[in-house]
Structure 1
Amino acid sequence: MALAHVAAAVVVGLWLAGGERALWTIVALLVEGIRQLAAPLVPTVPARRPAPFVVRLRRPHAWPLLRGVVLVRGP
């Protein structure tokens, strides 16, 4: 009896795995179809690089060694 339960659990596990794989395949196909339908509707805008974020020291006299240094933050 225990062997029958183990065999049934293996069969149900394989059945569920196949069903889950089929479900995700259908979802992926639907998403790709929607993406292809919506592609002509989305206007193409050329990518622009954002201006660099530059911080200039307001009080250069407070740090005489850092006079003329420009701090740039970001990647």
Structure 2
Amino acid sequence: MNRIDSEWLQAFDDAMLSFFAIDHADAGMDQTDLGRYSDLPARDAALAFGHDYELCRVDTFWPLQDSP
């Protein structure tokens, strides 16, 4: 089993939170699940996971507003 890099995991969780308002623990991901996505950059991995599991993006119902 691959050991998940802590920096990658933090970046993955940050991306998951920004896209889906959950982190890997909330999503129920274990080391095996994380290993399936760990070869991708963290942002891409989060989007791929969301796509694979049909997660609803945070900005689907509340679009991001441009800062003034």
Q: TM-score, normalised by structure 1?
A: 0.26
Greater fraction of residues in helix: 1
Greater fraction of residues in strand: 1
Q: Quick check: which has more Rg, 1 or 2?
A: 1
Q: TM-score, normalised by structure 2?
A: 0.29
Q: Which has the higher contact order (CA 8 A, sep 6+)?
A: 2
